[in-house]
Structure 1
């Protein structure tokens, strides 16, 4: 399938590691120029360097997506060095689990702000140039957790909010040639997940709940993102693509 992404500029937040890192490599393989962004400057620059070594065009910009000034700097660097942004993937997120009665205000604010405020600030910053070009893609990384997980009221609320954000923004932007969609991953075996000391037990328990009988890998998410970013998906907007192996709640 020809995705026709050659020459597009893609910005992926939180792309220094995990799903974000895999996503920038997939988009680069499809012909995109890449803006690697992460709050961890070291991992952002390392990922960009690995992309360049593989023959792709990439820059790295460290950014806290909850800071309006840092987001403005990020978008300005992309404009200056690569000519603007065609594809935005709002992937940045963190987990600070805990039951609500024991959750601190800081744990609530940090998780929800990175997911929702980050998507708001980054989208608001890049949309004017997409609207001017009459072409753009905004892809928000939600989660199966939007249905609710115990111990994750903050994360579940943020990821569920991202779906509402996606639907509303899709209605605002359609007439400008900009599609807005979300991808909701299930259990994905990222390097960080594999390094957990209790990963074998976690893997066994999670696999038992997945109808297809195996757990996802980062490429399953990056493939979905590349599809939604392409002209092949030009008539898809305001939707959430669940990449969960058939598992929804529970």
Structure 2
């Protein structure tokens, strides 16, 4: 089997695209789709085993990928990794700033270390990757950057550190689109809502029931798939989005648009798109 992308074959042939957090979840799915469309994908992650596993999957499927271990919060490590990728692949055309992470906690219980760790991961790390991709290569050749944020409109109760960081990344996206636009670099973001991804299994047992109830708050009454996020990322990286920059695309089936107060009846006509041939259901959802 191979990835069943909605885009034409060879769309990214000859291009090198970095995917941070490429060892799991949305990053893994996006890396597979990009590789299936001809891109040379540079997988970046903190754990060698994860990115090496995805590299092996992509290679087995006939694609081209490389694996790179890097803590995106470390400025010197980011500089070195981006240079290594450019040297290895002979160039750079795009960046998917997907790496991130957080832990559930009310604001009053977050200490300074926990706050700064999440902000460094979800905001500072993304900035460092984008800055190095731009200064080392994209400023000379043009290209596209897609930052992955989150549905933080209206606040993120229970994850305020992540909400603050993601909101900062949206503003960074807007600023970079202006400052880097004259170099032919487009910068956009996607904001996934509730996506059935392996990341759901990282939360504690106490959150399982809440996770299983999330679909009820979505107008179409289901969670999204990783492929539904990946396809949006691929579009924003593609020539079809050549006049789109500084925008954030919400991928949440309207769940951020007032569903908290509007009664939601039983849904219909809501079949998911899932072109990812290696997708797996999160464990927390398997016994539904």
TM-score bracket relative to the smaller structure:
over 0.9
> Which region of structure 1 is more displaced relative to structure 2, 111-120 or 196-205?
196-205
Aligned residues between the structures: 249
The answer as to whether partners of 1:93 and 1:114 remain within 8 angstroms in 2 is yes
In 2: Cα distance, 1:146 partner to 1:60 partner? 34
Q: What residue ranges of structure 1 are gaps of 5+ in the alignment?
A: none
For the pair 1:220 / 2:228, whether they are aligned, the reply is yes
Other-structure match for 2:27: 20
Other-structure match for 1:237: 245
The answer as to whether partners of 1:147 and 1:160 remain within 8 angstroms in 2 is no
Structure that is richer in helix per residue? 1
Aligned ranges 1:129-140 → 2 under 5 Å: 129-133=137-141, 135-140=142-147
Shift of 1:125: 0.6
Other-structure match for 2:62: 55
Normalised by the size of structure 2, how large is the TM-score?
A: 0.82
For the pair 1:201 / 2:201, whether they are aligned, the reply is no
Aligned ranges 1:150-169 → 2 under 5 Å: 150-169=157-176
> Which region of structure 1 is more displaced relative to structure 2, 16-25 or 99-108?
99-108
In 2: Cα distance, 1:145 partner to 1:75 partner? 29
For the pair 1:75 / 2:82, whether they are aligned, the reply is yes
Q: Alignment partner of 1:145: what SS?
A: coil
In 1: Cα distance, 2:154 partner to 2:87 partner? 40
Other-structure match for 2:254: 246
The answer as to whether partners of 1:146 and 1:159 remain within 8 angstroms in 2 is no
CA RMSD of aligned residues (A): 1.7
Aligned ranges 1:118-197 → 2 under 5 Å: 118-128=125-135, 129-133=137-141, 135-193=142-200
In 1: Cα distance, 2:233 partner to 2:35 partner? 12
Q: Alignment partner of 2:152: what SS?
A: helix
The answer as to whether partners of 2:153 and 2:256 remain within 8 angstroms in 1 is no
Q: Alignment partner of 1:236: what SS?
A: coil
The answer as to whether partners of 1:116 and 1:162 remain within 8 angstroms in 2 is yes
Shift of 1:55: 0.9
Indicate how the Cα distance of structure 1 residues 204 and 61 shifts in structure 2: closer, same or farther if over 3 A, else same. closer
Instruction: Please give the per-residue CA displacement for 1:130-153, whole angstroms capped at 9, x wherever unaligned.
Output: 1211x2111000100353121111
Shift of 1:199: 7.4
Q: What residue ranges of structure 2 are gaps of 5+ in the alignment?
A: 1-6, 261-288
The answer as to whether partners of 1:13 and 1:38 remain within 8 angstroms in 2 is yes
Other-structure match for 2:266: none
Q: Alignment partner of 1:93: what SS?
A: coil
In 1: Cα distance, 2:103 partner to 2:198 partner? 18
Shift of 1:198: 6.5
Normalised by the size of structure 1, how large is the TM-score?
A: 0.94
